[in-house]
Amino acid sequence: MMSAGGATTEAAPVLIAPRHADEDGPDWESVRAQFALDPTEAHFTCCFLAPLPTPVREAVERHRRAFERNVLWAEKDLYGIHNGLQGEVVRALAGYIGARPEDIALTANTSSGLGTVYSGLRLRPDQEIVLSVHDHLVHQEAARFAAQRRGATTRSIRLYEDPAGATAHEIAERLAKAIGPRTRAVGVPWVHSCTGVKASLPLLSQAVAAANSGRTEEDRCLLIIDGVHGLGVEDVDVAQTGVDFFVSGTHKWMLGPRGTGFVWGADHAWAQLDPAFPAVILDRDYWQALKAGTELPQTRAAWMSPGGFQAFENRFAVADAVAFHQSLGRDRVAARLSELNASLRERLRSLPHVRLVSPLEESVTSGLVCFRHRDLPAREVLGHLAEHKVFGTITPEMHDPAARLSAGLMNGPEHIDAAISALSGL
């Protein structure tokens, strides 16, 4: 078929869901066959970078070939994120998280998404941003940079003492107590990188809503969620949980290409931001105000997508990653990952020389499993696992990091067996 730029391109293949073994759900062996991993290895790396399933790899390659044949083949699709192929990505993501497409901005990853939100936040010198000590360093730094520029301050709190004993209500209650009249925003990870603890988004939202009672819009406290370790794992319509901003990359459990991410924000929340980066904007209201020299209308998500040329062959393929999940069923994917990682946690706990960091309670845990060896540092433990063809990652802590194993759709029970066998040898 002919593209917008005049080049002949291949038609996108129809995504075929893996065959079903029975009425209860997908045949997970067929799902695992979608990944090009060495079958003799066990990769527990979804909390870092996930391998791409066949439909996503093929989509990236299809778009790449089209660009090589004619660099202008998608020219009309590159301007404005609600047009053409970028619009398909936005609509796919919106459908997945229960949102309106017009409330989504596209970014390159979680880090740039957090930077976009905090850099654009209208913040006065007499205001503060409250974070947690459990936030990833990039979240803390994005908030700190923004506060420094505006003469504001940041403050970090502890949401629990012992991750293994954390509860969703304790996390929400501690957050509620930390919000003061000066608090302009609170930043919280949905699933914590260093512990695997999962917060309840509705409970966090209720805590912030109570603090906002009687506040004006310019004093309203905004709830900003780093959601990258929950997206693609949890069966939740995150846009319906009451949070103000949800920021995530799509290269972990969503199985999307590297260098892709997004920010969802409630309409009232986008209005509290100013554009932080130039964007390629096809918005009549914006251009009319700019040409007339008048005040810009209320900020919209489309204005907050950093412009310039992106790795479009990767970005366009995000829609295929969402379609892959949807073909399996978000609820079934969540149940499968819950089953695998619950088994992993239980079996790690049974090893006498291993201390499980992540909680066992299902309501406060997700797909990220953290643990420490009694005597050996995490890097040595991971090196030993790698020698046995079992691959994990390390938590992003400056001091005494833990090891992490994260079971994804490319894993099965035999991979857990291999990990436990290798750790037993220590």
Show the beta-strand stretches assigned E in 118-259.
128-132, 153-157, 183-189, 222-226, 245-249
DSSP string, 360-419: --GGGB-S-EEEEESSS-HHHHHHHHHHTTEE-EE---SSS--EEEB--TT--HHHHHHH
Domain with CATH 3.90.1150.10 in the chain: 330-424
Question: 249-289, pLDDT tens digit by residue?
Answer: 999 999 999 999 999 999 999 999 998 888 766 577 777 88
Q: In whole angstroms, give the CA distance from residue 200 to residue 205.
A: 9
Cα 93 to the center of its chain, rounded Å: 12
Burial (CB < 10 A; 0-12, 13-18, 19+), residue 222, is: buried
* Residues 57 and 257 sit within 8 Å (Cβ to Cβ): no
pLDDT of 82: 79
Burial (CB < 10 A; 0-12, 13-18, 19+), residue 385, is: buried
Question: 223-251, pLDDT tens digit by residue?
Answer: 999 999 999 999 999 999 999 999 999 99
Residue type at 297? Answer: P
pLDDT of 293: 86
Q: In whole angstroms, give the CA distance from residue 78 to residue 295.
A: 27
Q: Which fold has domain 76-324?
A: Aspartate Aminotransferase; domain 2 (3.40.640)
**Residues in the chain, total:** 426
Query: What is 330-424's CATH superfamily?
Result: Aspartate Aminotransferase, domain 1 (3.90.1150.10)
pLDDT band at 2, cuts 50/70/90?
Answer: very low
What the block records as the tokens of 389 is 């063809």
Domain with CATH 3.40.640.10 in the chain: 76-324
pLDDT band at 83, cuts 50/70/90?
Answer: confident
